[in-house]
Amino acid sequence: MNAASRADPVLRLASASPRRRELLASIGVTVEVVPTDIDESRLEEESPERFVSRLARQKAEAGHVGSALPTLGADTVVVCDDAIFGKPADQAHAREMLMMLSGREHRVLSAVAVLGPRGLVESRVSTRVVMRRIDEAEASAYWATGEPLDKAGGYAIQGLASIFVDQLVGSYSAVVGLPLAETAALLRGQGVPLWGGALADGGPGDLPS
């Protein structure tokens, strides 16, 4: 078996998100999935930036308990007019969020934290997304596909909702759920090999000193 096909986990992922697991797999990182159960309520007067970063850190800390592997926690939220859009509670909620995003620009904040040999390190990315105008019939049809159910902001940019996106400035992978360039730098700084072991720790991906 060569390095690229190695199946042993090199990272613990404190998330049940299949999208984050797939994104990590795309850069050759095999994970052990350990979903966490933390309180994701927003604190009073907490900014969206602080909120998303705090959740990423808490997930990494909760998932790291009892593990010898570095642990990654992440969180992604959609922000419109400083309101945080999480996962839709039901059809009415999903429709309301999508219609509020229609024809407007919003931000997607994605934070990642890695707890490992170098302690807890983190990064956060803000991406601008502009939606074209979406009519109510489209919003209803999109809900019927089932895709919005577990997506922040009620849409998946990598899925059927790609037809709604008019412009993106920033990190596409961050909108999907994990900013890969920033994540790779954090992982290499913690000694996690990328590309199935073909790219070991050290080199330009190191964390700044």
Active site residues: 75
Residues 6+ apart with CB under 8 A from 188: 194, 199, 201, 202, 203, 205, 206, 207
For strands 31-33 and 11-13, give the pairing: parallel
Closest among 158, 159, 153 to 80, alpha carbons compared: 153
**DSSP conformation class of 159:** T
Asked whether the beta carbons of 179 and 170 are under 8 A apart, the reply is: no
The count of other CB atoms within 10 Å of the CB of residue 146 is: 9
Asked whether the beta carbons of 29 and 192 are under 8 A apart, the reply is: yes
Q: Which whole-number Å values give the CA distances from 63 to 42, 60, 110, in the listed order?
A: 20, 5, 18
Burial class from Cβ neighbours inside 10 Å (0-12, 13-18, 19+) for residue 179 reads buried
Chain centre distance of CA 146: 20
